[in-house]
Amino acid sequence: MTISTIMNDIFGKVHNGTPISVSKDEGIPALVRLEMLINLYFPELYNNYQDLVSAKDKFGEMYAEVLSKDFSDNGILLSVSSLLI
């Protein structure tokens, strides 16, 4: 599942009330594979990898909030500060 697919699902839920489709990915998760490769070949990039993981975690929290919220009877207001990482 790509970020654009996730964002399209979120916008569909917010604007149309369309249920978000959840799919099961198989194989090694991309971030696990990336961490293995960084540890093996580019250990000097590990701090940058941790920044990426932090951004992913923040996105996951926001994604979970959108999944559980009902937007059908009210508008949505997004503040730019809440989207900054």
Residue range 25-42, pLDDT digits in tens: 667 888 889 999 999 999
CA distance 8 to 6: 5
- pLDDT band of residue 80 (cuts 50, 70, 90) is very low
Per domain, the residue ranges of the chain are 3-17+26-83
How would you classify residue 81: left for phi > 0, otherwise alpha for psi between -120 and 50, otherwise beta? alpha
